[in-house]
Amino acid sequence: MSDLRILIADDHELIRRGVRNLIALREGWQVVGEACNGSDAIEKARHLKPDVAIIDFSMPKLDGPAAAAQITQISPDTSVVVLTMHDSDHVIRDVLRSGARGFVLKTDADQDLITAVEAVSQKRHFFAKRVTDLVLEGYLTGRTSLIHSREDKEKLTPREREILCLLADGISSKQVATKLNISVRTVESHRIHINRKLGFGSIADLVRYAIRHGMISAH
Give, for all 219 residues of the chain, the pLDDT tens digit.
468 999 999 999 999 999 999 999 899 999 999 999 998 999 999 999 999 999 999 888 788 888 998 898 899 999 999 998 877 777 777 787 788 889 998 888 888 999 999 999 998 888 877 666 665 555 445 544 444 444 544 578 888 888 888 888 778 889 899 989 999 999 988 888 888 888 777 777 777 777 666 666 554
- pLDDT tens digits for range 112-166: 999 999 999 998 888 877 666 665 555 445 544 444 444 544 578 888 888 888 8
- Structure confidence at residue 79 (pLDDT): 94
Report which of 22, 24, 20, 21 is spatially closest to residue 33, judged by C-alpha positions.
20
Domain ranges of the chain: 4-140, 156-212
Q: Is-same-fold flag (4-140; 156-212)?
A: no
- 156-212: CATH number: 1.10.10.10
- Structure confidence at residue 164 (pLDDT): 87
Query: What are the backbone dihedrals phi and psi of residue 122, each rounded to the nearest 5 degrees, phi first?
Result: -100, 20
- Structure confidence at residue 139 (pLDDT): 46
What are the residue ranges of helices labelled H in the chain? 13-24, 38-48, 64-74, 89-98, 109-121, 129-140, 158-168, 173-180, 184-198, 203-212
For residues 53 and 82, the answer to whether their CB atoms sit within 8 Å is: no
Options 3.40.190.10, 1.10.1660.10, 3.40.50.2300, 2.60.40.420; CATH for 4-140 is 3.40.50.2300
Strand locations in the chain, DSSP E? 4-9, 29-35, 52-56, 79-84, 102-105, 126-127
- Structure confidence at residue 145 (pLDDT): 47
